[in-house]
Amino acid sequence: MSPLLAARDLTLRFGAIPALDGVSLEIWPGEVVAIVGESGSGKTTLLRVLSGQQRPEAGAVLYRDPEGAEQDILGMSEAALRRLMRTDWGFVHQNPRDGLRMGVSAGGNVGERLMAVGARHYGSIRAEATAWLKRVEIDPARIDDLPRHFSGGMQQRLQIARTLVTRPRLVFMDEPTGGLDVSVQARLLDLIRALVADLRLAVLIVTHDIAAARLLAHRLLVMRQGQVVEAGLTDRVLDDPQHPYTQLLVSSVLAA
Amino acid sequence: MTERGYNFAYLDEATKRMIRRAILKAVAIPGHQIPFGAREMPLPYGWGTGGIQVTASILGPRDVLKVIDQGADDTTNAVSIRRFFRRVAGVETTERTAEATVIQTRHRIPERVPVEGQIIVYQVPQPEPLYKLEPRRAETRRMHALADYGLMHVRLYEDIARLGRVATAYDYPVMVDGRYLMAPSPIPAFDNPKMDRMPALQLFGAGREKRIYAVPPYTPVRSLDFEDHPFRPIRAPHACALCGSSESYLDEVVTDDKGGRMFVCSDTDYCASRRDVAQEAAE
């Protein structure tokens, strides 16, 4: 077996600030990897570079496509990258407004990726959308409602349905539980965990919520000032932090 | 009699040359929008400045020009544009579709589909078929480049979900030669099938938006649809009150304030020639 996504020595500076400083990582099929760290530590930049949205100054990102061929993400044409982005990959934004079309009904939102890859049968698109709404615990009767009339938690679940409808193998999540209140967060985490196990998704999740990382992730990467300061199994890293910064991070978590 | 002090067909030769280059490029890439430096014209934007500039650039002294507005030859716009070209180019004008070599049109394709050797010039208010869905031009250009048209189907999906059918009755989006999504200008969806493999050259000019695009003769043009909701051209279920045609596209004319109305052909030339034939047959 080989990794689904492998990054080597990614480097990117914004002026004098090192956003990524020699970051390497691997994601294996069916694995959930969390990146934690404080604001400005380069988490989101790493996500953007790995998903081909931003070019690093140095380094390489390799992706193993469904045929088993290794693709160089940074050398890919824009068309190929876009195709990858709407079939084999998914991206869940922190703010559902960035990932949803607010003026398009819930069903249309879920169906968009299907139509983008060539689905041209209205009935089956609608059936698929209904099934996915059920799966993310949204009442299928609301299929024709606009997302702007949904609650924050529902919008986020809709965004997940919309992302997963094409059965991607790798999903990038940027703080998917940010901006939601705790009970809604818990429900969303539960849902993500169930879907990930069900679909055998590989997920790269960026978060500053240590609890969310513990619940979802198999492996954890701790970032600080553009460097991965510690990496390992989630429980190992959180129960026995080695790096002083990780120790600080773990000890800063509020216990309820 | 040609107006003195103007170049032939109003535009200067350098401008016409620039527009012809844009047209050639447009013909080479069917359905792709080509930017061009639209000039100020002696009429307001939205009245057909794009169409007039295209017509002016392709017109020769021996051309015969027909101008229609909503199918009619006798409306203000059609009459004014015809007179304009009579004055500045001295070309012959006609109301008969069959006699014209160049047909400039707003919102219709004549019932008698243009034939080989004819050129039909459309006036286009909005050349970008995606503009209601994606306001950023940089982004729509990228979508065209990558043939990323899922969004357009989302709009059709929304129509069917909300209304049970595609509600777009005019400016119904088409795929040209299986590659570029194109706005057919605000012609009724009824006219869309006429664009498919039309023997005449179709040119589109958008003056305010400064874009030219084209469909060369015999190019496949397909209206977007779903397999289980195929494209259906919409037509008022009546016969023309004047000529009796049950095939032509009809205008609804309100005749009084008591709910009286009649349906007549929007293509005045088609209607008149049918009435002539009927009268001759009666005599």
Domain with B36 in it: what CATH number?
A: 3.40.50.11310
Given an 8 Å threshold on Cβ–Cβ distance, is B150 in contact with A86?
Answer: yes
Half-sphere exposure of A69 (CA within 13 A, CB side): 4
Residue B7 forms part of a structural domain: no
Q: Which residue of B has its CA nearest to A78?
A: B146
- CA separation for the pair A86, A169 (Å, rounded): 11
- CA separation for the pair A233, A221 (Å, rounded): 9
pTM: 0.84
Residue B228 forms part of a structural domain: no
- At residue B5, the pLDDT reads 87
Residue A122: which of B142, B148, B226 has the nearest Cβ? B226
3-state secondary structure of B188: strand
Give yes or no: residues B246 and B108 share one domain: no
AA identity, residue A92: V
pLDDT in tens, B168-182: 899 999 999 999 999
Residue B281 forms part of a structural domain: yes
Is B50 considered catalytic here? no
User: Which residues make Cβ contacts (< 8 Å) with residue B121, sequence separation at least 6?
Assistant: B51, B54, B55, B58, B102, B103, B104, B105, B203, B204, B205
∠ CA(A109), CA(A114), CA(A115), 5° rounding? 85
Is B178 considered catalytic here? no
Give yes or no: residues B249 and B219 share one domain: no
Is the confidence at residue B247, as pLDDT, over 80? yes
Residues of A in contact with B226 (CB under 8 A): 120-122
The range of the structural domain enclosing residue B276 comes to 235-283
- At residue A136, the pLDDT reads 92
Residue B157: which of A79, A82, A111 has the nearest Cβ? A111
Give yes or no: residues B210 and B258 share one domain: no
Half-sphere exposure of A92 (CA within 13 A, CB side): 27
- CA separation for the pair A220, A214 (Å, rounded): 9
Residue B3 forms part of a structural domain: no
User: Which residues make Cβ contacts (< 8 Å) with residue B262, sequence separation at least 6?
Assistant: B241, B252, B253, B255
Interface test with A, best of B153, B159, B160 (most A CBs within 10 A): B153
- CA separation for the pair A147, A103 (Å, rounded): 7
Is the confidence at residue B267, as pLDDT, over 60? yes
Tokens at residue A101, please?
């079309």
Give yes or no: residues B29 and B127 share one domain: yes
Given an 8 Å threshold on Cβ–Cβ distance, is A111 in contact with B154?
Answer: yes
Given an 8 Å threshold on Cβ–Cβ distance, is A105 in contact with B150?
Answer: no
What stretch of H or E contains A214?
A: helix A210-216
Burial of A151 (0-12, 13-18, 19+ CB in 10 A): exposed
Residue B79 forms part of a structural domain: yes
Tokens at residue A256, please?
């309820």
Is B243 considered catalytic here? yes
- CA separation for the pair A34, A21 (Å, rounded): 18
- CA separation for the pair B265, A18 (Å, rounded): 70
Sign, CA torsion B111/B117/B121/B122: positive
| Residue finishing a domain among B178, B198, B223 | B223
Q: What is the pLDDT along chain A (256 residues), one digit of tens a residue?
A: 789 999 999 999 998 888 999 999 999 999 999 999 888 888 889 999 999 888 999 999 999 988 888 889 988 888 888 888 888 999 999 999 999 999 899 999 999 999 988 899 999 999 999 999 999 999 999 999 999 999 999 999 999 999 999 999 999 999 888 878 888 888 889 899 999 999 999 999 998 888 888 889 999 999 999 899 999 999 999 999 999 999 988 888 766 5
Is the confidence at residue B1, as pLDDT, over 70? no
- At residue A255, the pLDDT reads 62
Is the confidence at residue B160, as pLDDT, over 80? yes
ipTM over 0.90: no
Number of structural domains in chain B:
2
Q: Which residue of A has its CA nearest to B164?
A: A122
- CA separation for the pair B40, B207 (Å, rounded): 9
For residue A150, list its beta bridge partners: none
Sheet of strand B221-223: strand arrangement = B180-182, B174-176, B221-223
Q: Shortest Cα distance from B225 to chain A (angstroms)?
A: 8
Catalytic residue among B5, B31, B37, B46: B31
Give yes or no: residues B150 and B279 share one domain: no
Angle between helices A122-135 and A106-116 (to 10 degrees): 120
Give yes or no: residues B86 and B196 share one domain: yes
Give yes or no: residues B126 and B248 share one domain: no
Distances (CA, A) of B186 to A201, B128, B168, B189: 46, 12, 10, 9
Give yes or no: residues B59 and B128 share one domain: yes
Give the torsion through C-alpha atoms of A86, A92, A93, A95, to 10 deg: 120
Give yes or no: residues B161 and B128 share one domain: yes
| Residue finishing a domain among B223, B255, B275 | B223
Residue B115 forms part of a structural domain: yes
Give yes or no: residues B188 and B239 share one domain: no
Pick from A167, A216, A219, A201: nearest CA to A25:
A219
Residue B271 forms part of a structural domain: yes
Give yes or no: residues B263 and B201 share one domain: no
- At residue A210, the pLDDT reads 86
Residues of chain A that touch chain B, judged by Cβ-Cβ distance less than 8 Å: 78-79, 82, 86, 101, 104-105, 107-108, 111-113, 115-117, 120-123, 125-126, 143-144
pLDDT, mean of residues B194-202: 97
Is the confidence at residue B188, as pLDDT, over 90? yes
| Residue finishing a domain among B193, B223, B253 | B223
Burial of A210 (0-12, 13-18, 19+ CB in 10 A): buried
- CA separation for the pair A46, A137 (Å, rounded): 31
Tell how far CA B112 is from the center of its chain: 14
Pick from B175, B209, B211, B168: nearest CA to B195:
B175
Give yes or no: residues B36 and B148 share one domain: yes
Burial of B34 (0-12, 13-18, 19+ CB in 10 A): buried
- At residue A208, the pLDDT reads 81
User: Which residues make Cβ contacts (< 8 Å) with residue A218, sequence separation at least 6?
Assistant: A31, A32, A33, A233, A234
**When comparing pLDDT for B272 and A180, which is higher?**
B272
Residue B78 forms part of a structural domain: yes
